[in-house]
Amino acid sequence: MAKQYEIPVGAQHISLLEPLHFKFTTENEKIVSTTANIYYVHRGIEKACCTKFKFRQVSFVVGRVCGLCSISHTTAYSQVAEKLIKIEIPARAKYLRMLVIELDRIHSHLLCLSHVAENSGFEALFMKTMQYREAFMELLEAVCGNRVQYDFSIVGGVARDLKPEVAMMIIGRLKKFKSQLDELVDIFQNNWTLGLKNKNAGAITREDAMRLNVVGPFARAAGLAVDVRNESQELLPWIEVGFKIITETGGDAYSRSLVRLREIYVSMRMVENIINGLPESALITETKAFPDGEAVVRIEAPRGELFYYAKGNKTQILERLKIKAPTFSNVSAMLEGFEGNEYGSVPAIIASYDPCLSCTSR
């Protein structure tokens, strides 16, 4: 048997965007097994939300769990708090929440794709994708007032309205972006050197994905059609605005890039449908009730299924809040996906998994 070496890819590494730590056991550069350490940025948010903050202020605290999927956390918390105080939000607020969630999905997928290109060595593509993403950051600043921390969903509705000139700006930029996206799909799909680095890297099969309960584009690239937008229509009407599920077979880093690119097309169509059909109504439902009972909510963040559980006890402060991030479910599958690969492809594989450790170790 060949000699086994243990190599760490540590919490600080030149190619990692997130603070995670893997320790690989390798034989002649092929990875045999892995262990992980993921709790570097644990901040105790669940404890703070149940002692220091009142339930209406918690939506601002929870939006700071993650910088990329901030709107998913605030919307999911607002939905679970609305279930606890038993109110319904107006129709315009629902569609505005969906609009910002889809714009956020586009910018998050473009960030992940640019990171995959950077770790595969293709720095020109990294810069090009980031340039296209800049247009969406300006759009989000026009809609929400800020580029990264939106503070858009509050308990009872949404904080800001969509002005007509901003709606025109969104439609104009989406038209311009379509040809740019076609160019990106052409490069990610057909570039020979990118394919050499990404094909068969970090592959999992559909049976593995089902056995390990994988969520998000990671699962959809392996052939498992699981998406919360397909499954729950009672709180936000996804299928009505034109949602279609995207799957691929293959399960490797190449398929994951293609799933993310095709999801951007679906998101663009949903944004156009929402702007063309936005109903007129109020923005916030006022109420003076206190939260009571327990409730659960699931929502589709850009990386997978986000789950919230909350319990109230008729006072201003919640009794228990539990957050489950999408990367939390994917940890076991990430460790299995490394097996059989060479140690040199590890940065490209980690980038294609798209981990978000701030959500995981809140």
Partner 1 sequence: MKRIETTIQNLKKDIGHFYQPELYHFIVMNAVDLGEKIELQWFFGDYTEPFEIIAFCAQITPDVEIPSITSIVPSAWVAEAELVDLIDIRIENTSKGFVLEPDFESGPLRKGK
Partner 2 sequence: MVPCRQLLPRTILACHARHDEKRLMMKTFFKAIGNLFKRPVTVRYPFEKTYIPDDYRGVIDFDEQLCIWCRRCEMACPPGAIVFSQDMQGKQTYHYNRAVCIFCKECVRTCPKEGALLQTNQPAKFALKEENINNGWNALFEEAVVSREKYAAEKKRVAAEKAAAAKAATAKQ
Site for partner 2, rule CB under 8 A = 53, 56-57, 60-61, 131, 138, 141-142, 145-146, 149, 151, 154, 159-160, 163, 166, 186-187, 189-192, 195, 284
Question: Taking CB under 8 A as the rule, which mask of x and - marks residues 184-213 in contact with partner 1?
Answer: --------------------------xxxx
Q: What are phi and psi of 200, to 5 degrees?
A: 60, 25
Give the range of 132-140, 154-162, 257-265, 319-327 binding partner 1 by CB under 8 A.
319-327
Q: How far is the CB of 292 from partner 1 (least distance, A)?
A: 15
Which CB sits closer to partner 2, 154 or 215?
A: 154
- Angle among Cα 224, 230, 231 to the nearest 5 degrees reads 100
Q: How far is the CB of 330 from partner 1 (least distance, A)?
A: 9
Q: How far is the CB of 199 from partner 2 (least distance, A)?
A: 12
Look at residue 281 and give the partner it binds from partner 1, partner 2, none, a contact being a CB closer than 5 to 8 Å depending on partner kind.
none
- Angle among Cα 238, 181, 76 to the nearest 5 degrees reads 30
What's the CA gap between 46 and 354, in Å, rounded? 24
Which residues does 341 contact at the CB level (< 8 Å), separation at least 6? Answer: 30, 31, 201, 202, 349
| Position 343 contacts partner 1 (CB under 8 A) | no
Q: What is the DSSP string of 41-82?
A: T---HHHHHHHTS-TTTHHHHHTTS-SSSHHHHHHHHHHHHH
Look at residue 6 and give the partner it binds from partner 2, partner 1, none, a contact being a CB closer than 5 to 8 Å depending on partner kind.
none
| Position 226 contacts partner 1 (CB under 8 A) | yes
Helix axes 253-276, 91-119, angle to 10 degrees: 150
* Angular region, 295: left φ>0, alpha ψ -120 to 50, beta rest: beta
Specify whether the CB–CB gap between 101 and 307 falls below 8 A.
no
Edge-to-edge strand ranges of the sheet holding 30-37: 4-9, 21-27, 30-37
Look at residue 213 and give the partner it binds from partner 2, partner 1, none, a contact being a CB closer than 5 to 8 Å depending on partner kind.
partner 1
**What secondary structure letter does DSSP report for 235?**
S
Specify burial of residue 261 (Cβ count, 10 A radius: 0-12, 13-18, 19+): buried
Q: How far is the CB of 77 from partner 2 (least distance, A)?
A: 13
Look at residue 160 and give the partner it binds from partner 2, partner 1, none, a contact being a CB closer than 5 to 8 Å depending on partner kind.
partner 2
Specify whether the CB–CB gap between 302 and 109 falls below 8 A.
yes
Which CB sits closer to partner 2, 140 or 241?
A: 140
Element containing residue 306 per DSSP (H, E)? strand 304-313
Which CB sits closer to partner 2, 175 or 211?
A: 175
At 114 the three-state DSSP class reads helix
Which CB sits closer to partner 1, 44 or 164?
A: 44
* Placement of tokens 């490797």 in the chain: 252
Token pair belonging to 100: 């910002």
Among 27, 29, 134, 231, binds partner 1 (CB under 8 A): 231
| Position 324 contacts partner 1 (CB under 8 A) | yes
Q: How far is the CB of 356 from partner 1 (least distance, A)?
A: 15
Look at residue 313 and give the partner it binds from partner 2, partner 1, none, a contact being a CB closer than 5 to 8 Å depending on partner kind.
none
Q: How far is the CB of 281 from partner 2 (least distance, A)?
A: 18
Q: Which residues make up the interface to partner 1 (CB under 8 A)?
A: 37, 39, 42, 44, 46-47, 210-213, 215, 226, 231-232, 294-296, 298, 305, 307, 309, 311, 319-320, 322, 324, 328-329, 331-333, 361
